[in-house]
Amino acid sequence: MTTEKTILRALAGETLPTPPIWMMRQAGRYLPEYKATRAEAGDFLSLCYNPELAAEVTLQPIRRFGFDAAILFADILLLPQALGMDLWFETGEGPRLSTITKADDLSVLKPVDEIHETLNPVYETVGILSEELPKETTLIGFAGAPWTVATYMIAGRGTPDQGPAHKLKAKDRATFEAVIDLLTEGTIAYLSRQIEAGAEVVKIFDSWAGSLQGDDFKSYSLEPTRKITEAIKAKHPGVPVIAFPRGAGEGYVGTHSATGADCIALDDGVTAEWAAANLQTGGCVQGNLASYHMVSGGDELVSETKRICEAFSQGPHIFNLGHGITPDADPKNVAIMIETVRNS
């Protein structure tokens, strides 16, 4: 492959001497420059819908650290908002949405072809980024997986155990499946437009996949991701897909073929050694340093970073955290992690 973009080479299956690196939530509250731009925007959602400022915060960690990929600054909950649900963020607490708990509530949802009216600023952000990013930096677009987004739409907020979504699935499967199907269609349309605007890779975040057991994991995590991946690849051949069935545990085995994704992102609940033997044999993997090392630092940060690089060194690997970096992280630890990956 002739591209300078190391992320695209790893996604195409190449084993590189040094893994490319980026970080989930790399634009975020651990960076003073992010906090300044967010204050300028007013609040989080105003930042997401302001193309100039959303592009600015996306570029900040690239300028500061030289990551190999930039991830579009937006949120997985913009899609339910575009579908007609109310969305707001309670300071210090997290997202709040109107809820879907019965068949009647589906009537507030708009047809998929109307989502772009709300989401156009996001595509504009992608357009700005594809002009402004350094030529070696890959631009990643993203969306939430249907199950994860549905858990917020059903509960109206984040929940520790996704109880309300499990309850709707148990009591009124038709309504639950209507939500999953609508989100599957909406996600295909949303990601396609991100690609048309300039996204080179897309990532599907199934942050709550780990609470689905057995057949439910297959039907509501793997299968919607497979449908989205298949549709994206039919419309945009050659655009790689990263799937993140977070918390899947042993369920990670076989997820490249079950989803059709080019790369599987790993949380820190499985060891790199286990994943190298049981998952990386199927394709590229991304991960999986525990986020707390960005807070705690020290020798353990260096030794764990080296261990993960070593464990995945025999196959395609993109270095990342197991989940997003937290607001209490020290940017100095990020720099140490990058230096360790690039020099080990």
Given the rule CB under 6 A, which residues bind ligand CP3? Answer: 24-29, 38, 44, 71, 73, 75-77, 94-95, 142, 144, 158, 205, 207, 324
Q: Which of 49, 152, 220, 252 is catalytic?
A: 152
Q: Which of 9, 38, 226, 246 is catalytic?
A: 38
Name the minimum Å distance from CB 174 to ligand CP3: 26
Q: Quote the CA–CA distance of 319 and 314 in Å, as a whole number.
A: 14
Q: Which of 68, 75, 267, 268 is catalytic?
A: 75
Q: Quote the CA–CA distance of 309 and 284 in Å, as a whole number.
A: 13
Residue closer to ligand CP3 (CB basis): 293 or 311: 293
Clarify whether 25 is annotated catalytic. yes
Name the pairing type of β-strands 87-90 and 94-97: antiparallel
ω before 333 within 30° of 0 (cis)? no
Clarify whether 38 is annotated catalytic. yes
The four Cα atoms 246, 251, 255, 257 give a dihedral, to 10 degrees, of -160
Name the minimum Å distance from CB 327 to ligand CP3: 7
Clarify whether 226 is annotated catalytic. no
Q: Which of 29, 64, 96, 342 is catalytic?
A: 29
Residue 174: burial class (beta carbons within 10 Å; 0-12, 13-18, 19+): exposed
Clarify whether 75 is annotated catalytic. yes
Name the minimum Å distance from CB 151 to ligand CP3: 9
Name the minimum Å distance from CB 99 to ligand CP3: 16
Residue closest to ligand CP3 when measured from CB atoms: 207
Residue closer to ligand CP3 (CB basis): 283 or 322: 322
Q: Which of 9, 25, 193, 246 is catalytic?
A: 25
Name the minimum Å distance from CB 91 to ligand CP3: 8
Residues in CB range of 316: below 8 A, 6 or more apart = 10, 11, 12, 13, 14, 15, 16, 263, 280, 283, 284, 285
Residue closer to ligand CP3 (CB basis): 245 or 283: 245
Clarify whether 49 is annotated catalytic. no
Residue closer to ligand CP3 (CB basis): 101 or 159: 159
Residue closer to ligand CP3 (CB basis): 95 or 276: 95
Write a three-state SS string for 150-219: HHHHHHCECCCCCHHHHHHHHHCHHHHHHHHHHHHHHHHHHHHHHHHHCCCEEEEEECCHHHCCHHHHHH
Is the dihedral angle over the CA atoms 175, 179, 182, 188 positive or is it negative?
negative
- Would you give the DSSP letter of residue 222? I
Annotated catalytic residues are 25, 29, 38, 75, 152
